[in-house]
Amino acid sequence: MAENRDERLDRELIELLQELRVAIPGVQVMFAFLLMVPFTERFGQVDALERAVYLGAFLATAVASVLFIAPTAYHRLRWREYDKERMLVTSNRLTIAGTIFLALAVAGVVFVVTDQVLGARAAAATVGVAVALLVWFWFGLPLSRKRSDRA
């Protein structure tokens, strides 16, 4: 049985909220971890590059948090204003942008930790693999499937 427009919008909203329920706790845990790092004794030993990458990862995590939580605020502030389709389009874009910032944060954290544990060469190789995995599984795979579905 085909769903009508309102049913489709309701289903899509539920799907988006379920996806955000998966993403938000991960971002919050990473943000909490990154909040504590500068207050550890060992943070004083990191070099300028590691500090810069750390700061970038910290800020990217903050931006990802903002973008992932924004659809909830949007929905609450526009509640019962019959703007559900526009809200879903906007929320989808915010979620994709949040995913991009989360990928940047993950790559940054992988670099800093690997550089501390194994050194710069291993960090560069490890972050290269991490970025390849993030790009493929979070963006390449769904976009390639989208393209093949249209063909």
Q: What is the pLDDT of residues 77-98, one digit of tens each?
A: 887 777 888 989 999 999 999 9
The model's pTM is 0.89
Contacts with 150 (C-beta within 8 Å, 6 or more apart), sequence order: none
Per-domain residue ranges for the chain?
A: 5-33+46-150
46-59 burial code (b ≥16 CB/10 A, e <16): beeebeebbebbbe
Q: What is the pLDDT of residue 134?
A: 97
pLDDT under 50: residue ranges of the chain: none
Q: What is the pLDDT of residue 35?
A: 94
